[in-house]
Amino acid sequence: MDDAVPLLRMEGISKRYGGVKALEKADLSVNAGSIHAILGENGAGKSTLIKILSGVVGPDEGRILLDGREVTFASPAAANQAGIVCVFQELSLVPELSVADNIVISDPPQRFGMIDHKAQRRIAEEALARAGAADIHPRALVKDLPLSRRQIVEIAKALARKPRILILDEATSALTAADVAKVFDVCKRLRSEGLALLYISHRMNEIRELADECTVFRNGHNVASYRAGTRSDDEVIEMMIGRQYSHVFPAKPDSGSASKSAPVLEARSLSWAGRLHDISLTLHPGEVVGLGGLDGQGQRELLLAFFGVLRGLGGQVLIDGKTVSIDSPAAARAAGIGMALIPEDRKTEGLMLPMTVRENLSFASLDRITKAGIVDRDQEQELIDDMVRLLAIKTAGLDIPVGALSGGNQQKVVIAKWLMRQPRIILLNDPTRGIDVGTKQEIYQLLRKLADTGAAILFYSTDYDELIGCCDRVLVLYDGAVRRELVGAEITEHALIASALNIEAEGQSAMQEVNA
């Protein structure tokens, strides 16, 4: 690292999305023949770094040096050309084509203008063998393979492009333990062949086993680099946290006061499609319960399950102590249940962007403001005025498209359209993602206010600060199951991260530290 020119250097990379800075003066240095792990919380800037390196987006400032020479990538193809190949989390395979077709898709071998199937077969078999998956038949259709095998094909496809730097972005998140072991073997062999591997993973044990170098990102900046094995997990977690509380949270009531009342919502061993396992929880009126954990551990599915979106749900859901079967959002919002869901993506699930603010606000309450099917405009206006006042929605008028509003105000409209129904149970799916700090704080105040008036709130957030600041209890999910329940003072960043990463021992010790 000190003597030779590193294979790859990224210097002073910054990137902003709108007003949000994703990366600020980030540096990274990667050597040939090594595995370099990148660690960081949700939103620490890892994915942006990878996107810049693989040519998907361009940096606002900073430079990339390959073998000491400055390079710029206009497209993923250009990055591939330079030997940088990324295995993305979201699959880039074509499901209806065969494994071999997919492996050679960007540049199929040709003879007389036709695709040379023999050569293609050879290339595919080679790549599959290098990826440690010689058992996958090149003629199998990708759509017939299970997710974990597809991920391996994705790696084989990357290898067929003869990379010098291979980026594995959460490449093991969908894999079974046996497949992970295979991928590890592949990674080690590639390292011995002189490749540089950038390995992004949330799984600490993987990083411990695999990485040579580690770089920790926080708030869009690399805060530390160290040789693998020289820091304890606890120290690594401290490096990942180390952040100022940037939000002001409303005061929480005495813990336990809410949970004395009877639960309004209860789940008993919920399971679904191999993505949710045996989840039990209770939700009481007046409390804010958080869902924590790494992104994609089943939090979204859990909220959708309650809201009647998922089919074939195992286990029981009880409302006011009575078993109910909710088979649609329409049933979930109905009078006896009174549930509301602030969905994940406000642009495609929460709002109809081209429609007006007015139409969006009253959309979930049409049944309440219509008489014989006809919209009672006075009543509609009244309810809308209430909501605009309650949430302080800033808009140039009610009859402009809601898409013209700022992100924060759009989110307020989504929340308002549900509050108009005065729900008893409010499910929120990461409601503050991508909105400004001011609006975030208003939302925190609002959540507490709603809880104080008796609503029960189940709140998934990818931002640990929010969970700590807002929640009376937090359930940390890992791999579709509740890993841990943190109550009151136990909710610390350290505890959240430790249990999110599924580190048993360190998590315990961390908690002891906090309690001490």
Partner 1 sequence: MSDMASHGRAGYLPGFLRRADPAVLTAFACIVVLLFLGSLYSRNFLSPEYLLQQLKVASFLGVIATGMMLVVLLGQIDLSVPWTITAGAMMACAAAAYGPVGTALAMPFGILCGVLIGLVNGIGVAYLRIPSMIITLATNAVVQGLMVVYTGGSSPQDTATPAMRYVATGSILPGVPNAVIVWALVGIAMVFLLTRTGFGRTIYGIGNRERAAYLSGINTRRVVLIAFAMCGGLAAFGGVLLAGYASKAAQSMGDAYLLPSIAAVVLGGTSILGGRGSYLGTVAGVILITLLQSILSVMQMPEAGRQIIYGIVIVAMLLLYGRTPASR
Partner 2 sequence: MKEWRYWVAEQRGTLLACGIFLLMFAIYTSNHPAGFTANVVETAANKGVLLAFVAMAQTLVVITAGIDLSVGMIFVLTNCVASALVVGTPMQTALGILAVLVVGVLCGALNGAIVIYGRLQPIVATIATGAVFFGIALLIRPFPGGSVNEDLADTLTGKIFGVVPASLVLLLVIVLLVWVPFRRSVLGRGAYAAGSAEAAAYMSGVPIRRAKFAAYMLSGLLAAFGGLFLTFFTYTGEAAYASGNAYTLFSIAAVVIGGVSLYGGRGSAIGAIFGALAFRTIGDLLFVFDLGALWQPLFQGVILLVAVSLGAFGLFRIRNRLEWFL
Per CB under 8 A, does 77 bind partner 1?
A: no
Per CB under 8 A, does 89 bind partner 2?
A: no
Write out the binding residues for partner 2, residues 237-296 only, by CB under 8 A. Answer: 272-273
Per CB under 8 A, does 385 bind partner 1?
A: yes
Per CB under 8 A, does 359 bind partner 1?
A: yes
Rank residues 193 and 399 by Cβ distance to partner 1 and give the closer one: 399
> Which of 20, 77, 262, 375 is the binder for partner 2 (CB under 8 A)?
77
- Answer whether 64's CB lies under 8 Å from 9's CB: yes
Which of partner 1, partner 2, none does 141 bind, CB closer than 5 to 8 A by kind?
partner 2
User: Measured over all CA atoms, what is the biggest interatomic distance in the chain, rounded to whole angstroms?
Assistant: 81
- DSSP for 33-61 reads TEEEEEEE-TTSSHHHHHHHHTTSS--SE
Rank residues 86 and 398 by Cβ distance to partner 2 and give the closer one: 86
- Answer whether 10's CB lies under 8 Å from 27's CB: yes
Strand partners, 320: none
Per CB under 8 A, does 213 bind partner 1?
A: no
- Answer whether 426's CB lies under 8 Å from 342's CB: yes
* Region from 19-27, 134-142, 286-294, 418-426 binding partner 2, contact rule CB under 8 A: 134-142
* Region from 88-96, 162-170, 247-255, 364-372 binding partner 2, contact rule CB under 8 A: 88-96
The neighbour count for residue 454, using CB atoms within 10 Å, is 13
Rank residues 183 and 420 by Cβ distance to partner 1 and give the closer one: 420
> Which of 4, 74, 114, 251 is the binder for partner 2 (CB under 8 A)?
114
Per CB under 8 A, does 141 bind partner 2?
A: yes
Strand (E) or helix (H) holding 476 = strand 473-478
CB of 313 to partner 2, least distance (A): 9
Which of partner 2, partner 1, none does 370 bind, CB closer than 5 to 8 A by kind?
partner 1
In eight-state DSSP terms, residue 485 is E
CA distance 419 to 417: 6
> Which of 82, 84, 214, 304 is the binder for partner 2 (CB under 8 A)?
304
- Per the rule left: phi > 0, alpha: psi between -120 and 50, beta: everything else, 321 is left
- Answer whether 180's CB lies under 8 Å from 172's CB: yes
Rank residues 91 and 228 by Cβ distance to partner 2 and give the closer one: 91
Q: Compute the CA torsion angle 387, 390, 393, 395 (nearest 10 deg).
A: 60
- Answer whether 414's CB lies under 8 Å from 428's CB: no
Of 1, 45, 47, nearest in space to 25 by CA: 45
- Answer whether 350's CB lies under 8 Å from 429's CB: no
Which of partner 1, partner 2, none does 26 bind, CB closer than 5 to 8 A by kind?
none
* Region from 37-45, 132-140, 280-288, 330-338 binding partner 2, contact rule CB under 8 A: 132-140
Chain contacts with partner 2 (rule: CB under 8 A): 76-77, 80, 91-98, 101-102, 105-108, 110, 113-115, 117, 137, 139-141, 144, 157, 272-273, 301, 304, 309-312, 328, 349
